[in-house]
């Protein structure tokens, strides 16, 4: 019922109607954080199908042991188990706020990292000419009022997913990301504004910079005044200072403190495990442990706001079912999407599972894609963020709209 109300509200807003409803919505702003794993994470190790005989057989050196065995998978259900390095996320699964959609991905069968990432970010698989990213279109289509910090991009360079005309604030990496900088000096800002007056694009970037930074500084100043529990991954100490966990926590805090922030994006690279990816120990296990700690820190930083936030974790494609000649995996197709947050109907692995029989594999080698990533995003955009049908068509044009499991993804 709530969902229907929100859908109606979305439609009203697009038609330029009740501001009162918008205010009501802003008291509990709905939020979406997208975390992109660049380099194609091995989804068959993240949520491993231990119940499939072909799983261990295809991966003699890198398959994870079944649940219950030493260093074994953390049991999710009779078919799937979570990588043992992701133990920090198990509490979210057990608490009903972490779900997965397996055998999902892009309908375009490219195995190029760069094209596949581009499609995931443009939201238009197979079409390279799309100039903007789907999160920027979402920013335009989202019901409610614009704000300089309504969307935050974390990192030093602008991601494709936020490319487009709507303003996006940026948050740098590292413990000094929120420090005062030369550009915060009003006299210099005024001079820059005069200097940029004839350059529309740089002028717009400058306006986004100054407005976004002052808003973020205000929000963070409030966050700093609050007492906080001791934080083992906080910025102190050189090793963790630049870690994903510290950056993710900072992003979470910023989102929590800024009532205007509704969309955020961050990414983590280094998943292209062609060689010796390991199993319960090794390269991938280490990366996943740091990612798990980071997502947990993000959830922690979000605090109360987690109940109004959906975190989506996705990667451009999956990796080969069979290990390659070097105890690694090559580029594949289907992967697993992760959804975390209060609105998520957690504790379930969704998605139609095609199985690992050779006949079921894409090109005889890869997990097939049975669920389009946009089929998973659509219920989040509509049911959670209140996007209308017209808004959805703008954000994800020509996307498959129906998904049999859409109604099971979020809490009622």
Partner 1 sequence: MISRRRSLAGLSALAAGSMAWRPGMAAVGAAPTAAERAAHALNRLAYGPRPSDALAISQMGAGPWLDQFLAQQLEPRLIPQPPALAQRLASLQVLQMDQSALLGRYRDALKAAREAKREQAQGMAVDADAQNAVRNQVRPLVAEAATARLVRAVHSPAQLEEVLVEFWFNHFNVFAGKGPVSVLVADYESRAIRPHVLGRFRDMLGATARHPAMLHYLDNERSVVNGYEPPRAARRLIAGQPELKARVPTGLNENYARELMELHTLGVDGGYTQRDVTELARILTGWGIDQRQALQGGHGDLFRFDAAKHDAGNKVWLGHSVGSAGQAEGERALDVLAAHPATARHLAYKLAQAFVADVPPPSLVSRLADRFTSSAGDLKAVTRSLIESDEFWSAEAMGAKFKSPYQYLISSLRAVDAPIAQPQALLQALAQAGQPLYGAATPDGYKNTAAAWRNPEALTQRVQWATTLSSRYPLGAQALLNTLGASVSAATRATLAGEPAPQQMALLLASPDFMKR
By CB under 8 A, name the one of 25, 110, 140, 401 that touches partner 1.
Answer: 110
Query: Binders of partner 1 among 41-70, rule CB under 8 A?
Result: 61
Min dist CB 274 to partner 1, Å, is: 4
Q: Record the tokens describing residue 270, joined without a space.
A: 């280094």
Closer CB to partner 1, 57 or 61, in the complex: 61
Rounded to whole angstroms, how far apart are CA atoms 162 and 152? 9
**How large is the C-alpha radius of gyration of the chain?**
21
User: Is position 238 an interface residue for partner 1 (rule: CB under 8 A)?
Assistant: no
By CB under 8 A, name the one of 20, 325, 359, 412 that touches partner 1.
Answer: 325
With CB under 8 A, what is the number of residues at the site for partner 1? 58
- Which region among 45-53, 187-195, 307-315, 398-406 touches partner 1 (by CB under 8 A)? 187-195
User: Is position 195 an interface residue for partner 1 (rule: CB under 8 A)?
Assistant: yes
By CB under 8 A, name the one of 77, 94, 199, 224 that touches partner 1.
Answer: 199
Binding string, residues 353-372; x marks residues near partner 1 by CB under 8 A: ----------x---------
48, β-bridge pairs? 81
Rounded to whole angstroms, how far apart are CA atoms 267 and 250? 14
By CB under 8 A, name the one of 19, 69, 71, 112 that touches partner 1.
Answer: 112
Query: Binders of partner 1 among 252-311, rule CB under 8 A?
Result: 269-270, 272, 274-276
Min dist CB 184 to partner 1, Å, is: 9
- Which region among 79-87, 91-99, 322-330, 391-399 touches partner 1 (by CB under 8 A)? 322-330
Closer CB to partner 1, 243 or 382, in the complex: 243
User: Is position 5 an interface residue for partner 1 (rule: CB under 8 A)?
Assistant: no
Binding string, residues 139-168; x marks residues near partner 1 by CB under 8 A: --------------x-xxxx-x--x----x
Closer CB to partner 1, 74 or 169, in the complex: 169
By CB under 8 A, name the one of 52, 296, 308, 330 that touches partner 1.
Answer: 330
Min dist CB 181 to partner 1, Å, is: 5
By CB under 8 A, name the one of 41, 171, 254, 321 that touches partner 1.
Answer: 171
Rounded to whole angstroms, how far apart are CA atoms 269 and 275? 16
Closer CB to partner 1, 202 or 404, in the complex: 202
Q: Which residues bind partner 1 (CB under 8 A)?
A: 38-39, 61, 110-115, 153, 155-158, 160, 163, 168-174, 181-183, 187-188, 191-192, 194-199, 201-202, 205-206, 208-209, 212-213, 269-270, 272, 274-276, 324-328, 330-331, 363
């Amino acid at each position: 019922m709530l969902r229907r109300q929100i859908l109606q509200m979305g439609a009203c807003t697009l038609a330029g109607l009740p501001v009162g409803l918008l205010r009501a919505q802003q008291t509990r702003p709905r939020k979406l954080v997208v975390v992109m794993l660049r380099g194609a994470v091995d989804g068959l190790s993240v949520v491993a199908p231990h119940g499939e005989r072909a799983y261990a057989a295809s991966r003699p050196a890198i398959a994870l042991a079944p649940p219950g065995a030493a260093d074994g998978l953390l049991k999710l259900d009779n078919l799937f188990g979570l990588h043992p390095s992701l133990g920090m996320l198990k509490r979210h699964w057990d608490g009903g706020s972490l779900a997965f959609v397996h055998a999902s991905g892009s309908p375009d069968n490219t195995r190029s990292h760069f094209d596949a990432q581009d499609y995931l970010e443009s939201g238009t698989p197979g079409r390279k000419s799309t100039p903007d990213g789907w999160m920027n279109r979402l920013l335009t289509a989202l019901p409610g009022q614009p704000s300089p910090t309504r969307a935050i991009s974390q990192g030093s360079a602008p991601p494709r997913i936020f490319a487009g005309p709507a303003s996006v604030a940026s948050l740098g990496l590292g413990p000094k990301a929120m420090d005062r900088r030369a550009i915060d000096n009003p006299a210099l800002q005024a001079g820059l504004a005069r200097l940029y007056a004839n350059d529309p694009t740089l002028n717009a970037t400058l306006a986004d910079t100054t407005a976004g930074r002052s808003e973020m500084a205000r929000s963070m100043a409030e966050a700093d005044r609050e007492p906080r529990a001791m934080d083992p991954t906080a910025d102190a100490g050189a090793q963790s200072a630049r870690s994903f966990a510290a950056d993710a926590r900072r992003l979470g805090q910023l989102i929590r403190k800024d009532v205007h922030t509704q969309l955020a994006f961050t990414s983590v690279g280094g998943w292209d495990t062609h060689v010796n990816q390991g199993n319960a120990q090794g390269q991938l296990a280490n990366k996943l442990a740091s990612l798990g700690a980071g997502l947990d820190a993000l959830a922690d930083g979000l605090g109360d706001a987690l109940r109004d936030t959906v975190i989506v974790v996705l990667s451009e494609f999956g990796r080969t079912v069979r290990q390659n000649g070097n105890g690694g995996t090559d580029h594949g197709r289907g992967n697993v999407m992760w959804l975390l947050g209060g609105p998520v109907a957690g504790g379930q692995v969704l998605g139609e599972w095609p199985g690992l029989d050779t006949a079921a594999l894409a090109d005889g080698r890869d997990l097939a894609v049975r669920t389009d990533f946009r089929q998973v995003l659509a219920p989040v955009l509509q049911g959670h963020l209140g996007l209308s049908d017209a808004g959805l068509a703008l954000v994800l044009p020509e996307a498959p709209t129906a998904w049999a499991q859409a109604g099971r993804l979020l809490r009622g």
